[in-house]
Structure 1
Amino acid sequence: MAERAQRLRRAVEVARVARRSRLVRVLREVGVVGDRPATPEAADEFRKGLEELGTTYVKLGQLLSSRPDLLPDVYIDELSKLVDAAPPVPFEQIQPTIDEELGPDAFARIDAEPLASASVAQVHAALLSDGREVVVKVRRPGVLEQVTVDLDVMRTTVRFLHKHSETAQLLQLEALADELEVNLRGELDLTEEAHNTELVGRVIADFPELLVAKVIRPYVTEKVLVLERIQGEKVTADHGLPQADAQRLARQFFRAYIRQVTVEGVYHADPHRGNVLLTSDGRLALLDFGLLGRLDDETRSTVALLLVAIARNRAEDVASLILALSLTTLDSDEAVFVHELRRKLPRYHWRPLARIRAGEALADLQRICLRYGIRLPPSFALVGKTLAQADSIARTLDPELDPIALLEDEGGDVILAEAARSLQPDQLLSTLYTQLGPLARFPRRVGQIADRLETGTLKVGVAPTDLQGLEHVLRSVANRIGAAMIVVGLLLSSALIARVHDLQWLGFAGVCLASLLGVYMIWKIVKTPGEL
């Protein structure tokens, strides 16, 4: 009962902020309910509303900023300004958690003033008893309970939109909500972040220009994580590196992210400027692995070939790979989609280097897919956002970086790595086994079909699809006929009742009711010819 009351209070609070932020206007501008041009004012109010609602909604905004297929550019730009920062929790409230999880004697010193404070956790500098400098990441008290309530409210809202909006179904809002929950649950469990940190450290081991902080075990729990402290500065245009070193570092950084996505299928999915530091020895340190992107092997392989096809300006291959990756329906216009790709793909080639953006190409692909009814998996949006952020960091170091040329250079290595992976004995045997099984059963199934044809027992089932339009018309016709019969019945019964002297008032009331229903039907027919 208490949980239900808490959800209700939170829903009222969200509704109040939504009303103040003019959420209905936002939904119209993004196309969920109606169609209205996007405006910077509405986008700004939407961002401020998300910030006011706290952790879950800030994370939602950050996730939405990776969906140019869902939101107009003005919203993407505004949501990109979201910073996951929050006022620090007093150390007196944090220290009991540290003592409970790690023991009171884990550190020789720990600073009460945090180095950074975000909505999920805050970070304090500390010194271990063996003299090592570390940072202690501590989950904020009460954040797990608040996120759980927010996710419950959000699921209810998404289910309502999914039921009443075809656009919400096309945009896969339920999948978006599921993805948000998975990401948030992962960030709330610091043992998961410790595992992610070590995993990415192994993935980028071949890039000496990059480093990841070491996890200090056994000081890892669900609420507290201890990491090696790395000193560095945010990457800015006045980084002070020699030009040749900056160009090499930019290329290696972007190549590392291409390799993570296309070869490993596991990648650091949040490389914004606050999570990448330039160290004093000229390397880039990656921070904060609460959000890790993961691709299944089939999707990873397809994305790898897709990036190669984009880099080599092959529109037919790009279209084929996207369609293999996506969900299509009878309403999907594949022919026009391919034609649009042929028209737009060359725009990302043979341009001034400063105007080429890898993330821009993937964002355009998402918009084109949405326009022609092709549903890309949500994981594609996160890949696009990650490469766009990596591109931005790399360009800060080297404004003349050509990401398309880098993709093309990496293409050969990606294809060779994919071929080598497929030809590994265990992988090859697995593929052969899964393919030989259906082939071995094929003759028997052909024989079964022939036997049934011979005996006349073969049955063919036909499942009709896309009948929603016909069903809507039939329901509309039935409703109008039924309403017309009710009006006629009311008029006839009222006329008969009016002949009885004592019940004339009842007959008059029936005529008035029939007239109102008749006027209502005429108004609906004029306004919405296909509905009642």
Structure 2
Amino acid sequence: MPERLRLVLEELGPTFVKLGQLLSTRPDLLPPDYITELSKLQDAAPPVPIDAITEAIQSEFGLGPAGVFAEFDEKPVASASIGQAHGALLADGTSVIVKVRRPDAVQKVHEDLEILQNLADRADRYWERARTYNIHGLVQEFSQTLRAELDYLQEGRNAERFAENFAGRTEVSIPRIFWETTTSRILTLERVSGIRITDVNALDSAGIDRAELARTGALLMLRMIFEDGFFHADPHPGNLFVQQDGSITLIDFGMVGDIDAELQNRFIDFLIAFTRRQPDGLADALLDLSVTAGTGDRDRLRERLVSFVGDYSGKALSEIGFAHLAAQLFGIVREQHLQLPREVALIFKVLIMIEGIGVQLDPDFDLLGVLTPYARRLLKKRLSPAAMSERLLRASADTGALMMEMPARLRRILEQVDRSGIEVHLRAAELEPLVARTERIGNRVVAGLIAAALISGVGDLVAREKRWRSWEGALLSGGVTVISTLTGYLLWTSKRRRQ
């Protein structure tokens, strides 16, 4: 079945290939065999004729390739579903890569996305599982991602944002974007060379320390995710080149992840609970992260996580591997019908890819050995006085804004009440616990009153009437019998109610 799905997506065309590639990054939605098969999807397409490329450049700049570039190689370097890449030289001799969007790409993508949206709408109406997994939201997310890839201006801005984040650092470099020859249809960027990061023979020949390179690459991605909040979401070996000094050059910035401080903190909570093997912390973190947490059963989730942690007790995390642990964890996530945000799924994908590259570079590479002390540093930083002060200031600002908005919100609520009144809808199942509790309290009050009245009556009778004193023992025995019988009856009815 997984292979058949891959073949169907390939037959349906570029948009559906992209959809399959996106799904291959979502182990929270699909089992491992589907993830493995969909990961084989290649974004390749037949080359676009040079006449169409020339026409696109002419349309954007008013000149053909010869008028815009000093040299332009008509043979493409690569051809994909969205665009085609050609080598070129600028007037000053700078070697560049020119990416040209395929002439029919936008129309085809929009048509396919409309079909997918209609299918998602139908699934939402007629298939309960589609609502559980938020299929409609997934299609919208995919649409936004693919439309962003159609705009080369966005890819250029992504590259510049990475360059700003790593300014002044020598362990990573980002190709320069040439905006004079860049539009939404054409992207011109610096051509880079280097050793493919998994070419171990070339790395050894260049005298590069592969163990150190693996650690550098892992720390590079961790900084992007947990410090910058903006990370390269497709760090496969073809997008990572190693320079002679051991630094890493990143290319291809169409797929990125962008996470805010709140999501970063939630993921850090997960990471700390994960590295410390804390089932309760893991349960809370996963429910906080999930976009479908409302359907999650925390007790059942915790029970499964206790078993998950127990399976690896007594073993060092380095012996197991992050990818294996993540696969087991995602099985629990799917079982509990939880769905993670796109950015969190991308983070897991990136970490798994980095672990794979690291092991190729150094068989002893341990991602969790890098991840654990990193998580501790992040926690320490988050608890620092400066961080706490910043959070207090943010909370104060939020509280102030809420207080300012409160009168207007209350006024709107009161106006709504005046116009429509208030309707309270309760189901019998919701009232049952309340009724049972009220009945138990009432029974106890009644029993107490009867017992008190009986004791008081016997006492008064014996005290005031001498002729009843000879019956004192019998009266007290009778009173105790009545109270005991009443107590037994109340306990019996209470038990029946619980059953």
1:289 paired to 2:253: yes
Matches within 5 A, 1:311-322: 311-322=275-286
What per-residue deviation string (whole Å, max 9, x for no partner) do you get for residues 8-38 of structure 1?
xxxxxxxxxxxxxxxxxxxxxxxxxxxxxxx
| Counterpart in the other structure of 1:98 | 57
Instruction: Report the residue type matching 1:234 in the other structure.
Output: R
Q: 1:51 Cα deviation (Å)?
A: 1.5
When structure 1 is superposed on structure 2, of 174-183 and 373-382 the one drifting more is: 373-382
* Rounded Cα–Cα distance in structure 1 between residues aligned with 2:122 and 2:429: 22
Deviation at 1:218, TM superposition (A): 2.2
Cα distance in structure 1, aligned partners of 2:15 and 2:386: 40
Q: What is residue 371 of structure 1 aligned with on the other side?
A: 335
Residue of structure 1 in register with 2:424 after alignment: 461
Distance 1:466 1:123 in 2: 63
Are the aligned partners of 2:32 and 2:327 in contact in 1 as well (CA < 8 Å)?
no
Instruction: Give a deviation string over 1:232-266, Cα, whole Å, max 9, x none.
Output: 24332534435871111111111121221222221
**How far 1:324 moved relative to its partner?**
1.8
Q: Partner residue of 1:212? A: 174
- Give 1:460 shift: 7.9
Contact 2:176/2:190 (8 A) holds in 1: yes
Q: Please, which of 376, 380, 385 is the counterpart of residue 349 of structure 2? A: 385
Choose from 216, 222, 242 the match for 1:278.
242
- How well do the aligned residues superpose, as a CA RMSD in angstroms? 3.2
Aligned with 1:218: secondary structure? helix
Deviation at 1:353, TM superposition (A): 7.7
| TM-score normalised by the chain length of structure 2 | 0.75
Q: Residues 233 and 424 of structure 1: is their aligned pair in 2 closer, same or farther, counting only changes over 3 Å?
A: same
Match for residue 114 of structure 2 among 145, 152, 156: 152
Q: 117, 122, 138: which one pairs with 2:79?
A: 117
In the TM superposition, residue 227 of structure 1 has moved relative to its aligned partner by 0.6
State the alpha-carbon separation in 2 of the partners of residues 339 and 310 from structure 1: 15
Distance 2:175 2:97 in 1: 10
1:67 and 2:26 correspond: yes
- Check if 1:409 corresponds to 2:389: no
Task: Return the TM-score normalized by structure 1.
Answer: 0.71
One-letter code of the match for 1:121?
G
How many aligned positions are there? 416
Match of 1:176 in 2: 138
> CA, structure 1 residues 335+271, in 2 after alignment: closer, same or farther (shift >3 Å)?
same
Deviations 1:151-204 (A, max 9, x none): 000111111122222222222211211111111011100000000111122334
Counterpart of 2:364 in structure 1 is 400
Query: 1:84 aligned to 43, 62, 73, which one?
Result: 43
Aligned residue in 2 for 1:134: 96
> Does the residue aligned with 1:112 lie in a helix, a strand or coil?
coil
Q: Distance in 2 between matches of 1:347 and 1:264?
A: 34
- For the pair 1:252 / 2:216, whether they are aligned, the reply is yes
Cα pair distance change 1:56/1:334, threshold 3 Å: same
CA distance 1:108–1:463, change in 2 (3 Å)? farther
Amino acid at match of 2:111: V
Distance apart, 1:382 and its partner CA: 1.8
**Which amino acid counterpart does residue 94 of structure 2 have in structure 1?**
R
Partner of 1:193: 155
Deviation at 1:207, TM superposition (A): 5.0
Could you say which residue in structure 2 is the equivalent of 1:343? 307
Shift of residue 223, structure 1, vs aligned partner: 0.4
Selected match of 2:191 from 229, 246, 249 = 229
- Give the conservation status (yes or no) of the 8 Å contact 1:319–1:338: yes
Equivalence for 1:498: none
- Unpaired runs of at least 5, structure 2: 411-420, 431-499
Greater CA drift, 230-239 or 310-319? 230-239
- The 1:244–1:137 alpha-carbon spacing in structure 2 relative to 1, beyond 3 Å, is closer
Task: Give 1:164's aligned residue.
Answer: 126
Q: What letter is aligned with 1:63? A: L
Offset of residue 89 of structure 1: 0.7
Match of 1:339, as an amino acid? E
Distance 1:328 1:72 in 2: 18
Residue of structure 2 aligned with 1:429, choices 376, 380, 393: 393
Q: For residues 354 and 202 of structure 2, what CA distance do their matches in structure 1 show?
A: 20
Taking the aligned partners of 1:349 and 1:233, their CA distance within structure 2 comes to 40
Decide whether aligned partners of structure 1 residues 133 and 336 sit closer, same or farther in structure 2, where only a CA change above 3 A counts: same
Q: 1:347 to 1:221 in 2, by over 3 A?
A: farther
For 1:421 and 1:256, the matched residues in 2 are separated by 26
Give the corresponding residue for 1:481: none
1:47 equivalent to 2:11? Answer no
Counterpart-to-counterpart distance in 1, 2:239 and 2:269: 28
Q: How far is the alpha carbon of 1:398 from its aligned partner?
A: 1.7
Gaps of 5+ in 1: 1-41, 447-457, 468-532
Q: Distance in 2 between matches of 1:297 and 1:51?
A: 38
Give the C-alpha shift of residue 332 in structure 1.
2.8
Q: How does 1:315-334 map to 2 (within 5 A)?
A: 315-327=279-291, 332-334=296-298
2-side partners of 1:169 and 1:430: how far apart? 35
Q: Are 2:317 and 2:368, in contact at CA under 8 Å, matched by a contact in 1?
A: no
Is the 1:422–1:428 contact (alpha carbons within 8 Å) kept by the matching residues of 2? no
1:337 Cα offset (Å): 0.7
Query: What is the identity, as a one-letter code, of the residue corresponding to 1:461?
Result: V
SS at match of 1:252: helix
Deviations 1:79-108 (A, max 9, x none): 111111112112221012123323442210
- State, as a whole percentage, how many aligned pairs show the same letter: 34
1:24-74: CA deviation from partner (whole Å, max 9, x where unpaired): xxxxxxxxxxxxxxxxxx222211221222221111001111122322221
CA contact (8 A) 1:353 1:401 kept: no
- Counterpart selection for 1:304 from 268, 285, 301: 268
| Contact 1:353–1:400, Cα closer than 8 Å, also in 2 | no
Q: Displacement of 1:439 after TM fit?
A: 7.3
Specify whether residues 244 and 337 from structure 1 end up closer, same or farther in structure 2 by C-alpha distance, changes over 3 A only. Answer: farther
SS in 2 for 1:137: strand
Residue 388 of structure 1 and its aligned partner are, at CA, apart by 1.4
